[in-house]
Chain A
């Protein structure tokens, strides 16, 4: 049984109010959704709160899901919308947009020598759109069309953002790893 069929059976059980099905959905999607939320809000606690809110809203909204798209694109779209809405409400969006790359902070963090933390620090210093598109494309391994569905950007905007994000991330990582990643 593939992911889509698995999801369908879980969703049908969840629609009838089954707690175990809800738990399965939470377990299956929480980490990737959390990574996406962190790409946008750059705050672990806030990302968790948003994700929890989305899961609870899902209890009511799951009945409107008619399999016109895959569940994960629908769900990730909800998470992304909720993150941007929260940012707008908090009026922090403009501040985050203005975040610039700061090599000296990255170098300090490099002392930890933890690969995952280094990459996440680099992603945290990128613009929300760029970090989000990178994670959707490379971490979640989604197609461009799916990234378009989730973000609501045009195909060309997704491609341009992806290209720019790769360049920015490569620059940041080269500063951290030096010559080891010269071929990036």
Chain B
């Protein structure tokens, strides 16, 4: 390795440039903006997914036979419950996948 204790090295130590005085503040403002946008996006995602789940559940309830009078209710209820459980599991599975995708898990990469 080259010797760093030479005149060129000493002079180059003087070549450090400084950013403008407002640089940090501006960058932090952009950070806040980005975090705000990210939170808003997550909130929309949550609301949308809950909406889809509610719609799906309502659809299942409507498509099930609720017009049973007496004995029929005892037969139909487990079917509806099962459908609700399935839709709940589907909802969590989809939401988990969306979260995983938004976390951007993967190998170490360079921004280019």
Contacts and interface: CB of A to CB of B under 8 A. Distances in A.
The interface size bin for chain B is 35 or more
Contacts of B35: 17, 19, 59
Nearest to A25: B27
B16 A31 contact: yes
Interface secondary structure of A, over-half rule: helix
Contacts, number: 120
Contacts of A82: 111-112
Nearest to B104: A63
Given A56-B30, A64-B108, A51 B19 contact: yes
Interface of B: 1-2, 4, 7-9, 11-20, 23-24, 26-28, 30-32, 34-35, 103-112
Interface of A: 17, 19, 22-23, 26-27, 30-32, 34-35, 38, 44, 48, 51-52, 54-61, 63-66, 68-69, 74, 77-78, 81-82, 85, 115-116, 119-120, 123, 134-135, 137-139, 141, 143-144, 162, 166, 169-170, 173, 181, 183-184
